[in-house]
Amino acid sequence: MATFVLVHPAWFGGWCWNKVADRLRSHGHPVHAPTLTGLSERAHLASREVGLMTHIDDVANVVMFENLTDVVLVGSSSGGAVITGVADRMSERVAALVYLDAFVPSDGQSILDLLPPERRHAFDAMVETEGGGWLLPRFAPPPWPVIVRNMWQISDEGDVGWVLSRLRPTPYRHFTDPLRVTASNLEAVDRVYVRCPRNPAPFDVFAAAARSDPAWTYREIDTPHVPFVTHPDEVTNVLLDVAASH
């Protein structure tokens, strides 16, 4: 059985993987879905000092202290930067990296570097006006209900309520800290990119790079950007395929 470690994106927490985790466990796979420092049930730990390296430490420590090996490490959206950093640090424990509609930063890049200029400016403005200079309160200028229903296309009202009640501001250094990795460490790990095409750019650029690189496996699932909420069966099937190949 593969061991899955599922890494959530900004604003979410380990809870967002519940549907997928239950399905993977029903197939006999161990699953860990840690919450990053400063989010969800760990929101009380948010501070100016929390950043991308903190979040890499969060996940790396789960792998180390649980003594996990042959890990399928899955990152959604900004979680792609986290899993990249973890794999760089402990590639010998990681069987595969799965980028679920996720950012794929290179050495020296931050997540903010990979966003369109208009989104970067919007983020900077929200941090200054609403986040005390260090917290990013939300994904875009529309309020969360609009983002959840329209941009993320969550239509089930039970899911809407579940998500809205649990989203929390994210320490901005999650986005602004540059990633430090060594390319050769990552090349030793199988990498899979899963594109969710109902979501617009900026993820097309990472999908295109994966499709053109024989070192990557490329997959698509016809879903919006948070399929762990809206389409857990489709996400589970992709992850089971990855597990079967390892």
Cα–Cα distances (Å) from 21 to 7, 32, 70, 91, in that order, read 12, 8, 17, 23
Phi first, then psi: what are they for 60, rounded to 5°? -60, -35
Write out the catalytic residue numbers: 77
Cα–Cα distances (Å) from 14 to 142, 210, 233, in that order, read 24, 26, 18
Alpha carbon distance 220, 24 (integer Å): 19
Identity of residue 76: S
The tokens of 66 are what? Answer: 């649980």
CA neighbor of 30 nearest in space, from 62, 77, 76:
62
